[in-house]
A and B are shown apart, each in its own frame.
Chain A
Amino acid sequence: MRGFLTLIRLDMAIWRKTPWVIATALIPPVGMAILVTMLTFAVTRQPVALVIQDHSPQAQSMADIIRSDTDTYQLYQTTLAGAQNLLKKQEVTSIIVIPKGFGKALATDGAKVDLTLNNIDYDFADDIRRSISRSVAEFDAPELGVASSRSVGTSVIPSPYRVNPDETDLRKTDVDFLHYQVVPVLILLIINVGMLSSAVLASRDRERRTDRVLALAPVSPMARIAARLTGGLLVTFLMVIPVTWILVATHQIQPPDGHWWALIGVLGVTSLLSVSLGSLLGVALKKSTTVALAAVILASYLFFLGGGFTTIAFLPDWLQTVSRIVPTRYAIDALRQSLFYPDLSNVAKNLITVTGFAVAALAASVYTLRRAAR
C-alpha cells in the first residue's frame, strides 16, 4: 500500500513539474470555448439595412414588425443610398425596402417588400429569407409572427394563409445556444486532461527509460498499474473539480435539485474512460510529442462525433451510426440532460453505457500496461 501511494505521489509530482503538459491539455478546451462564444455572435443576429420610403401607417406597421424581430435583425434604418453604401462595404448582409406607395398597393393586394441580399453563402442568406418571409406573412396573419411563436397554444384564428402552426415543445426549458454548445467543453477538458495525464506519463517512462527503474521497485506490477491509473484520475479531478466549481459559483451552470449525483457520475465516469484511453495511447506511442498530438486528435474526434459541436440528428445516417460507438455521445447527452432539463430521462441509461465503455477501456489498459511492464 505504501509503495502504491508513493507511486501516485510520484506521478502527481511529475505532472506538477511539467506545466507545459498542463498547458497542452488546456489549450484545446479553451480554444473551443472561445470558438463557441464567438460563434454566438456569428450565427445569431444579422446586420440588415431598413429603408422606409412610404409614410403611410401601414408602412409604419410593417416596419414595426421588422423591428420587433430582434432575434434576427440588427437593424440600421437609413436611406436607400446609405443602405447601398453599407451593402457595398459589407457592413450589412441585406437591404429591406418598404417602397413608396406601399400603403396604397395594399388596397389592391399588390404590395411588395423588397429584399436585396448579399447571398455569399446559403446559411445566413436562408436565415434572412426565412425571417423576411415570416415578417411579411405576419403583416396579414399576426399568428405567424414572432410573438405567436413564443406563446403556447394556438386557437383556430382565421388566416388568409389558411394554415396556422400549433407548436408543442418537447422540453419545458429553453436553453440558449451559447450554454448548449459551451457546456460540453467540460467533457473536452476531461478527455484532454485525462488522456494527456496518463498518456504522457506512460510515454515519458519509456522515453526516459525510467520504466526500468520502476520495474526494480519493491511494488507488484498490478500495484504499479493501479497507481498509474489512480494518479491520472486524481490529476484529472484536480483540474476538473475547480473548473466545475467556478462554473457553478458564477452561475454558468446550475444543476436542478436532485441532479448533482448525475452530474458527478458523468464527470467521474468520463474521467475514468479518458485516463484508461490515455494509458493505451501512451503504451502504443513512444515519443511524448507524438503522444500529446495523438491524444489531442483523438479527444477532438471523441468530442465532435459525440455531439459536442453538433446536433447528432443533423448528421448523415452513417455518421449517426458511427457516433453510437463513441462513448462521449452518451456522456455529453447525460451532461446536457442533467444540467439543462428538469427530468433525468435517459441519464441512467447513458451513464451505464459510458461506464461500460470505461470498464472495457480500463481492462484493455490494464492488460497493455501489464504487458509493457514485463
Chain B
Amino acid sequence: MSDWWAACRAGMRLQTQQFMKGPLLIVLTVVEALTFLALVSLFGLTGSKAPTALVVNDHSPLTASFVQDLAKDHDSFRLEPTTLAIAKQRLAAGSVVDILTIPKGFGASVAAGRTVVLPVTIDNVDTDLTDDIQRALPAAIQTFGLQHHFNGIRLAPVEHDLLSYDTAYVPYLVVSALGLDALVVAGALGATAMAGEWENKTLVQWRLSPSPMSGLLIGKLIAVVIVSTLAVWVAALLVFFGYGVHPHDAVGTLAALALCCVIFTALGAVVGNLLRRTLPVAIVFFGIALPLYIDSGSLEPERFDGHWLWFFGHATPVYAAVGVLQNTVHGLRVTPESIPVDLGILTLWALFSMAIAYLILQRSKAVR
C-alpha cells in the first residue's frame, strides 16, 4: 500500500511539474472556459429587451400610461425615446431593431373611444425577432386596455406562477455554463495530461517502473483535478461577484463543481488515452461543450425540449450537473429527477469514468 501511495505522490509531482513547465496552456484553458461564459452571456442578452426607438408625438396622460405599459411589457422592449429622423438613422445602422411611433392626438382619440393606428417599423432580419415583437405589442396593448377598463373588453388572462420569482435569463445561463466550464477545463487538462504521456512516449516507462500504474494515474489526475477545480472556482466567483448572482448554497455549488471536475478529468483522461495527441484535445472539449450546452437543460429545463433531446441529454453527466448547480445556486429544480438522484448519477459517473480511464490505459498495447 505504501508503494501505491508513493506512486500516487510521484504522479502528482510529475503532473505539477508539467503544469509549471507550460503554464500558458492552463491560462489558455481557463480563458477558453471564460470565453464560454462570455458566449452564453451574449446569447442571453439577445433573448429579451429588444432595443426599440420610441417616437412620441403626443404628450397626454394616456400616452404616458401606454409608454409605461410598453416599458413593463414582459421584458420585451428597451425603449429609447428619440425623434423620427434619428430613429430611422439608428434603425438603418442596426443599433435598434424597431421604431414605435405614437402619433399626435393619440391620447385624445383613445379618450374619445376611437381606435388609433400605431405605426411600427421592424428590421425583420429573422422571423424569431419579428415574432417576438409581434407578440409583445398586443400584450402591451392588452395591458393598456385592461388598465383603463375600456368598454367591450370581455376577458383577461389570470396568471398563477409556480415560483414566487422569475430568475433572470443571463444568471440562469451562466450557472449552467459553469458545469460546461468544468467540462472544458477539467476535460482538456485531463486529456492533455494523458495524451502528453503518449506523445512523449513516456508511457512505456510507466510500465517499466516497479510502481503500481494505478497509483501513478490517480496521482496525475488528482493534480489535474486540483488545478481545474481552482480554475472553475475562479469562474464561479466571477459569476457570483461579476454577474451579481447570489447562490442559495455557495458551499454546495463549489462542492458540486469539484465533483464535476473529478468526473470530467477522468473522462478527459479517457479521451487523451484514445486520441494520444495533445493538439486537438482542448479544442475537442470546446467543440463538444457547444452542442452539450443546449442538450443539458442549460437554457431551460431539458424536458421542455421534447422526448428525444431529453433522452439524449441523459447520455452525459452534464445534464445531472446542470440540475444540481441550478438547485444550489438558484434553488430551482430543472430536472424531473430529484436532486439526490442527480447527485447519485454524478457520483456513479465519477466512479465509472475513473474505472474506464484505468482500464483503457492498462489494456493499451504500448503499456503491456
Chain A contacts to B: CB under 8 angstroms: 20-21, 23-24, 27-28, 30-32, 34-35, 38-39, 41-44, 46-47, 62, 71-72, 87, 89-93, 102, 105-106, 109-127, 129-134, 136-140, 144-145, 149, 154, 156-171, 174-177, 179-181, 200, 285, 287-290, 292-294, 296-297, 300-301, 304-305, 309-316, 319-320, 333, 336
User: Is A42 a contact partner of B299 (Cβ separation < 8 A)?
Assistant: yes
Of the A-B pairs whose beta carbons lie under 8 Å apart in the complex, a sample of 6, sorted by A's number, is A90-B301, A113-B155, A116-B161, A156-B115, A161-B142, A165-B141
User: Is A124 a contact partner of B304 (Cβ separation < 8 A)?
Assistant: yes
User: Is B45 a contact partner of A139 (Cβ separation < 8 A)?
Assistant: no
Binary A-proximity of B123-135 (CB < 8 A = 1, otherwise 0): 1111111111011
Minimum C-beta distance from B336 to chain A (A): 5
User: Is B288 a contact partner of A20 (Cβ separation < 8 A)?
Assistant: no
Minimum C-beta distance from B139 to chain A (A): 4
User: Is B157 a contact partner of A133 (Cβ separation < 8 A)?
Assistant: yes
Minimum C-beta distance from A187 to chain B (A): 15
Within 8 A of A (CB), among B65-124: 66, 73-76, 91, 94-97, 109-110, 113-124
Instruction: Specify which of B126, B168, B290, B295 is in contact with A177 (CB 8 Å cutoff).
Output: B126
User: Is A116 a contact partner of B160 (Cβ separation < 8 A)?
Assistant: yes
Given contacts A137-B139, A174-B130, A292-B279, 14 further A-B contacts (CB under 8 A): A28-B283, A31-B290, A38-B294, A47-B304, A115-B160, A122-B166, A126-B76, A162-B145, A165-B118, A166-B117, A174-B124, A177-B126, A309-B39, A314-B50
Binary A-proximity of B277-306 (CB < 8 A = 1, otherwise 0): 111101110111111011100011101111
Name the A residues within 8 Å of B132 (CB-CB): 127, 130
CA distance A297 to B306 in the complex (A): 32
In the assembled complex, B29 has its CB within 8 A of some CB on chain A = yes
User: Is B300 a contact partner of A294 (Cβ separation < 8 A)?
Assistant: no
Contact (A35, B300) CB under 8 Å given A180-B125, A289-B25, A309-B39: no
Contact (A311, B158) CB under 8 Å given A35-B293, A134-B139, A162-B145: no
Name the B residues within 8 Å of A93 (CB-CB): 300, 304
User: Is A164 a contact partner of B115 (Cβ separation < 8 A)?
Assistant: yes
In the assembled complex, B156 has its CB within 8 A of some CB on chain A = yes
Name the A residues within 8 Å of B289 (CB-CB): 31
CA distance A111 to B94 in the complex (A): 42
Contact (A289, B192) CB under 8 Å given A165-B138, A315-B45: yes
Name the residue on B nearest A314 (C-beta): B46
Query: Which one of B8-16, B146-154, B215-223, B229-237 is at the interface?
Result: B146-154
Name the A residues within 8 Å of B138 (CB-CB): 130, 133-134, 137-138, 144-145, 149, 165
Name the B residues within 8 Å of A166 (CB-CB): 117-120
Name the residue on A nearest B309 (C-beta): A41
Chain B contacts to A: CB under 8 angstroms: 22, 24-25, 28-29, 31-32, 35, 38-39, 42-51, 66, 73-76, 91, 94-97, 109-110, 113-132, 134-139, 141-145, 150-163, 166-169, 172, 192, 277-280, 282-284, 286-291, 293-295, 299-301, 303-306, 309, 332, 334-336
User: Is B124 a contact partner of A169 (Cβ separation < 8 A)?
Assistant: yes
Contact (A163, B66) CB under 8 Å given A149-B134, A169-B124: yes
User: Is B301 a contact partner of A297 (Cβ separation < 8 A)?
Assistant: no
User: Is A27 a contact partner of B115 (Cβ separation < 8 A)?
Assistant: no
Instruction: Specify which of B28, B122, B139 is in contact with A294 (CB 8 Å cutoff).
Output: B28
CA distance A288 to B278 in the complex (A): 9
CA distance A315 to B290 in the complex (A): 21
Tally the A-B contacts, defined by beta carbons under 8 Å. Answer: 359
User: Is B116 a contact partner of A89 (Cβ separation < 8 A)?
Assistant: no
Instruction: Specify which of A47, A110, A177, A304 is in contact with B42 (CB 8 Å cutoff).
Output: A304
Name the residue on A nearest B29 (C-beta): A293
Name the A residues within 8 Å of B172 (CB-CB): 120-121, 123
Name the A residues within 8 Å of B299 (CB-CB): 39, 42-43, 123
Minimum C-beta distance from B176 to chain A (A): 10
CA distance A197 to B349 in the complex (A): 37
User: Is B280 a contact partner of A71 (Cβ separation < 8 A)?
Assistant: no
User: Is A117 a contact partner of B291 (Cβ separation < 8 A)?
Assistant: no
Name the B residues within 8 Å of A294 (CB-CB): 28
User: Is A118 a contact partner of B150 (Cβ separation < 8 A)?
Assistant: no
Name the residue on A nearest B110 (C-beta): A162
Name the B residues within 8 Å of A200 (CB-CB): 279
User: Is A31 a contact partner of B286 (Cβ separation < 8 A)?
Assistant: yes
User: Is A109 a contact partner of B153 (Cβ separation < 8 A)?
Assistant: yes
Most interface-central of A30, A31, A87, A157 (chain B CB within 10 A): A31
CA distance A21 to B160 in the complex (A): 54
Name the A residues within 8 Å of B142 (CB-CB): 133-134, 136-137, 144, 161
User: Is B135 a contact partner of A134 (Cβ separation < 8 A)?
Assistant: yes
User: Is A34 a contact partner of B291 (Cβ separation < 8 A)?
Assistant: yes
Name the B residues within 8 Å of A92 (CB-CB): 304
Minimum C-beta distance from A319 to chain B (A): 8
Name the B residues within 8 Å of A119 (CB-CB): 161-163, 166
CA distance A267 to B287 in the complex (A): 23
Instruction: Specify which of B24, B46, B110, B151 is in contact with A163 (CB 8 Å cutoff).
Output: B110
Name the residue on B nearest A108 (C-beta): B154
User: Is A162 a contact partner of B150 (Cβ separation < 8 A)?
Assistant: yes
User: Is B123 a contact partner of A24 (Cβ separation < 8 A)?
Assistant: no
Name the B residues within 8 Å of A176 (CB-CB): 126-128
User: Is A21 a contact partner of B279 (Cβ separation < 8 A)?
Assistant: yes
Contact (A297, B28) CB under 8 Å given A90-B335, A123-B48, A310-B46: yes
Minimum C-beta distance from B80 to chain A (A): 11
CA distance A158 to B152 in the complex (A): 11
Name the B residues within 8 Å of A137 (CB-CB): 138-139, 141-142, 145
Name the residue on B nearest A69 (C-beta): B135
CA distance A122 to B150 in the complex (A): 29
Instruction: Specify which of B74, B125, B282 is in contact with A293 (CB 8 Å cutoff).
Output: B282
User: Is A162 a contact partner of B139 (Cβ separation < 8 A)?
Assistant: no
Name the B residues within 8 Å of A285 (CB-CB): 24
Name the B residues within 8 Å of A133 (CB-CB): 74, 135, 138-139, 142-143, 157
Instruction: Specify which of B39, B160, B278 is in contact with A304 (CB 8 Å cutoff).
Output: B39
CA distance A201 to B368 in the complex (A): 35
User: Is B155 a contact partner of A90 (Cβ separation < 8 A)?
Assistant: no
Contact (A313, B166) CB under 8 Å given A90-B304, A109-B153, A133-B142: no
Name the residue on A nearest B142 (C-beta): A137
Most interface-central of A123, A158, A287 (chain B CB within 10 A): A123
Minimum C-beta distance from B269 to chain A (A): 17
CA distance A29 to B283 in the complex (A): 11
CA distance A136 to B156 in the complex (A): 7
The 4 closest A-B pairs by CB, nearest first: A160-B152, A27-B287, A133-B139, A180-B126
User: Is A41 a contact partner of B139 (Cβ separation < 8 A)?
Assistant: no
Minimum C-beta distance from B102 to chain A (A): 9
